[in-house]
Amino acid sequence: MENKSVETQENILIAARTIFAQKGLAGARMQEIADRAGINKALLHYYYRNKEKLFEQVFDEALKKMLRPIAAFLADDSDLFQKIRNICRHYHEVLVEYPFLPNFVINEINSDPTRILKLFDAEGFLEGREKTIIQINEAVKSGMIRPIDPRELILNIISLSIFPFAGRPVIKEILYKNENIYEILKERADRVSDFIIQSIKI
Amino acid sequence: MENKSVETQENILIAARTIFAQKGLAGARMQEIADRAGINKALLHYYYRNKEKLFEQVFDEALKKMLRPIAAFLADDSDLFQKIRNICRHYHEVLVEYPFLPNFVINEINSDPTRILKLFDAEGFLEGREKTIIQINEAVKSGMIRPIDPRELILNIISLSIFPFAGRPVIKEILYKNENIYEILKERADRVSDFIIQSIKI
DNA sequence: CTACTTTTTAACCATTTGGTTAAAAAATAT
DNA sequence: ATATTTTTTAACCAAATGGTTAAAAAGTAG
């Protein structure tokens, strides 16, 4: 009996991910989520008190899955180039699974900035960031890489990894029409790190 | 008399830009737009028949301002590196003025992909793209730049230029807290093109 | 002053939507 | 078989919202 219940809840979450991703929090309809999960609205509210709670669960879950390993990579002791490769690869892996995540973050940070930032904090992202900034500065000083502001390098890594997923529908139409964009993006991970490393290495 | 009318309509557009940018099409409220424009809802509907029409006007106007010059840069005869510099600079200039544009495009392409793509077409973006792809391939063949898939290079340029604006609220919090992010992004244009050129040049 | 346009007011409507309720039905466990 | 949990049905509610209407008021031009 419990199986069925768990299965239904899982179906709800899967449906919610899709709908929230397509329409955002405001645009999503509880009825549509229920339909897609193959249940009715009453049951949907039976398991998830309201729209906000449902959204929060879907959102927090996905964001944690993204941030926790990134924080770990930032904090570990591998050398800079390896770190860049790890991070790019992880971004691409998770985003192939949760391609809606960037839009979630981008859209919802406007409505409640603090909640998202708390998640960054909780997942240890900020400490890892400090450590990596120091590491980049040292790499510059030791002549391993060209002079670059650490935050700018981080921003470039993030931009190259995330934007193609955030803008995926447009990208697909203007650059990769009639191709499997997910395949292309998945394969891109290592080329992105090469592109970055090529730019900074001496 | 006409002045007042035009001024009111302009106020509406300014207000609409802000609200649509913050809340998206679904999340925006006509009442809120009216309030921000300093008028009432009846007058808002008097000038713009309905929400969709208003959104369309705001959106199309901004996207054209973005695309038309990009198309021109892609189509002109300057050498590849100069082209990259022109494009990065233009993206940054327009996006400082319309920072909401990327989110607009990203969000609304889901609801009606064809309308946006028509705009790309109409603004001559696609022809410029073809010409630039050929140019990149030739630059590779002539040994001017490292081997790279032209579409991937274009994607990297777009990602580095646009993502920082799309993700601006998050970026600001995790990297540039307490700083003027617009100033930082504006200054970034030339460093972005340097980063790209450094990566591909031989 | 008169004619015309712009703006306001305020009530009003239809629809959508999130959410509830309560009872019946189905499924499952013991 | 009985008790418990899960699911459905269907009606219902309150609030929000896009949009309308019509008449009055204010502003403007000739």
Q: What is the pLDDT of residues B72-111, one digit of tens each?
A: 999 999 999 999 999 999 999 999 988 889 988 887 777 6
Cα separation, B89 vs A77, in Å, equals 37
Cα separation, A152 vs A149, in Å, equals 5
- Within a domain: residue A53? no
Residue A192 backbone phi and psi in degrees, to 5: -65, -45
Residue A198 has pLDDT above 90, yes or no: yes
Q: How many CA atoms lie within 13 A of A182 on its CB side?
A: 8
A2 and A102 housed in the same domain = no
Residue A1 has pLDDT above 70, yes or no: no
Q: Chain A contacts of B195, Cβ < 8 Å?
A: 148, 156, 199
A27 and A99 housed in the same domain = no
Q: Which nucleotide is nearest to B6 (CA to C1')?
A: C6
- Portion of chain A with pLDDT greater than 90, in percent: 71
The total of other beta-carbon atoms located within 10 Å of residue A187's CB is 10
A114 and A194 housed in the same domain = yes
Cα separation, A19 vs A166, in Å, equals 16
The total of other beta-carbon atoms located within 10 Å of residue B147's CB is 9
| CB distance B157 to B196 below 8 Å | yes
Q: In terms of CA atoms, which chain B residue is nearest residue A110?
A: B22
B22 and B69 housed in the same domain = no
B40 and B64 housed in the same domain = no
pLDDT of residue B127: 93
pLDDT of residue A3: 62
CA-based R_g, chain A, Å: 19
Question: Which of A26, A169, A196 has the CB atom closest to B23's CB atom?
Answer: A26
Q: What is the pLDDT of residues B131-171, one digit of tens each?
A: 999 999 999 999 999 999 999 999 999 999 999 999 998 99
- Count: domains in chain B: 2
A108 and A25 housed in the same domain = no
Cα separation, B159 vs B186, in Å, equals 16
- Within a domain: residue B53? no
Question: Which of A102, A175, A199 has the CB atom closest to B198's CB atom?
Answer: A199
- Arithmetic mean of pLDDT over chain A: 92
pLDDT of residue A136: 98
B177 and B128 housed in the same domain = yes
The total of other beta-carbon atoms located within 10 Å of residue A150's CB is 19
The Å distance, CA of B44 to C1' of D17, is 15
The Å distance, CA of A29 to C1' of C15, is 15
A65 and A160 housed in the same domain = yes
The Å distance, CA of B14 to C1' of C7, is 19
- CATH number of the domain encompassing residue B93: 1.10.357.10
The Å distance, CA of A20 to C1' of C24, is 33
Please indicate whether, in this complex, the C-beta atoms of A167 and B105 are within 8 angstroms of each other: yes
- Arithmetic mean of pLDDT over chain B: 92
B38 and B64 housed in the same domain = no
Of the candidates B143, B151, B159, B148, the residue with the CA atom closest to the CA atom of residue B202 = B143
Please indicate if any CB of chain A lies within 8 Å of the CB of B18: no
- CATH number of the domain encompassing residue B14: 1.10.10.60
Q: In terms of CA atoms, which chain B residue is nearest residue A28?
A: B26
| CB distance B87 to B70 below 8 Å | yes
Q: What is the pLDDT of residues A120-177, one digit of tens each?
A: 888 889 999 999 999 999 999 999 999 999 999 999 999 999 999 999 989 999 999 9
- Within a domain: residue B149? yes
Q: In terms of CA atoms, which chain A residue is nearest residue B26?
A: A27
pLDDT of residue A115: 79
pLDDT of residue B26: 87
pLDDT of residue A87: 97
- Within a domain: residue B131? yes
In sequence order, the β-bridge partners of residue A198 are: none
Please indicate whether, in this complex, the C-beta atoms of A110 and B199 are within 8 angstroms of each other: no
B76 and B172 housed in the same domain = yes
The shortest C-alpha distance from A130 to chain B (Å) reads: 10
Cα torsion angle, A167, A169, A174, A176, sign = positive
B79 and B97 housed in the same domain = yes
Q: Average pLDDT, stretch A19-33?
A: 90
- Within a domain: residue A39? yes
- Within a domain: residue A35? yes
pLDDT of residue B175: 95
- Within a domain: residue A103? yes
The Å distance, CA of A68 to C1' of C27, is 40
Residue B174 backbone phi and psi in degrees, to 5: -90, -20
Residue A112 has pLDDT above 90, yes or no: no
Higher pLDDT, B52 or B3: B52
Please indicate whether, in this complex, the C-beta atoms of A26 and B22 are within 8 angstroms of each other: no
Please indicate if any CB of chain B lies within 8 Å of the CB of A122: no
Structural domain of residue B14, as residue ranges? 1-48
pLDDT of residue B4: 67
pLDDT of residue B3: 62
B44 and B62 housed in the same domain = no
Please indicate whether, in this complex, the C-beta atoms of B175 and A154 are within 8 angstroms of each other: yes
pLDDT of residue B128: 95
The shortest C-alpha distance from B32 to chain A (Å) reads: 15
- Within a domain: residue B136? yes
pLDDT of residue A2: 57
Higher pLDDT, B113 or A183: A183
